[in-house]
């Protein structure tokens, strides 16, 4: 079955399902094949990670450490994984050889942030996803931009991407975290509703889009790991 048709069928099937049901189906979908969760261990990540821990603690979780992340994120990643009992968290890092060849001084983000994202995030993740038929993300329509029409299942190059929280609102996220007494990323309280790499992330004001602090002042709105109809999304569409 073509991947686009498969994604559309799964989205239709789960149009009234809750996030836990979508997630459980994705993890056990024989047509999609092996599935991994890709998590930034960012502002809202603990919601999906907790759901995953209640379904299958041994499911693979891919965490891309660009080596530019905030120290608080690295600490949070270790603490959350331990607290939830996630036993297969794979820390993905950029290739040493590629860094020496293309960003030996660590300043590529200053003049070509797209190339930096490709080097430190997109390419390492693509390699880590080899062998998987799908991957799970925490993206939501409330993030705005190209995400406003986000489906539950979508074709992503050679794989199916699953977005169980696509229709969730920020109050729903907050309520879930409170209900289950989950730890928040410490930077959320400091005004960071979306947390990426340290050089390219700033705080956002209460009246701004949650992702306003990412690549502030640039047309860039995505790191490049997300595709729409096979086209890499690095800038606002």
Q: Which of 117, 197, 200, 223 is the catalytic position?
A: 223
Yes or no: say if 109 and 200 are a contact pair by the CB < 8 Å rule: yes
CB 191 within 8 A of CB 203: yes
d(CA 201, CA 213): 5
Look up residue 105 and give its two tokens: 């001084």
Distances (CA, A) of 28 to 48, 59, 79, 134, 180: 16, 11, 27, 11, 24
Please give the Cα distance from 159 to 174 (Å, whole number).
30
Q: For residue 143, which of 8, 73, 42, 58 has the smallest C-alpha distance?
A: 42
Q: Where are the alpha helices (DSSP H) in 103-169?
A: 108-111, 113-117, 123-128
Structure tokens at 95: 């290739």
Annotated catalytic, 200?
Answer: no
Neighbours of 213 (CB within 10 A): 20
**Which positions are catalytic?**
223
């Amino acid at each position: 079955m073509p991947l686009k048709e498969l994604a559309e069928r799964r989205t239709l099937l789960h149009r009234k399902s809750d996030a836990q049901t979508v997630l459980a189906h994705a993890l056990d979908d024989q047509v999609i094949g092996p599935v991994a969760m890709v998590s930034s261990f960012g502002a809202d990540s603990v919601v999906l990670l907790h759901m995953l821990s209640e379904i299958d603690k041994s499911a693979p979780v891919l965490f891309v450490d660009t080596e530019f992340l905030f120290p608080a994120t690295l600490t949070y990643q270790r603490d959350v994984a331990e607290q939830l009992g996630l036993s297969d968290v794979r820390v993905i890092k950029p290739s040493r050889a590629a860094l020496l060849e293309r960003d030996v001084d660590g300043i590529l983000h200053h003049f070509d942030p797209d190339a930096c994202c490709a080097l430190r995030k997109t390419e390492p993740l693509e390699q880590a996803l080899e062998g998987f038929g799908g991957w799970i993300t925490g993206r939501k329509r409330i993030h705005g931009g190209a995400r406003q029409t986000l489906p539950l299942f979508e074709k992503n190059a050679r794989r199916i991407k699953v977005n169980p929280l696509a229709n969730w609102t920020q109050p729903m996220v907050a309520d879930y975290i409170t209900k289950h007494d989950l730890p928040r990323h410490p930077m959320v309280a400091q005004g960071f509703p979306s947390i990426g790499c340290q050089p390219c992330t700033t705080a956002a004001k209460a009246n701004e889009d949650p992702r306003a602090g990412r690549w502030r002042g640039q047309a860039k709105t995505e790191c490049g790991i997300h595709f729409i109809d096979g086209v890499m999304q690095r800038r606002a569409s």
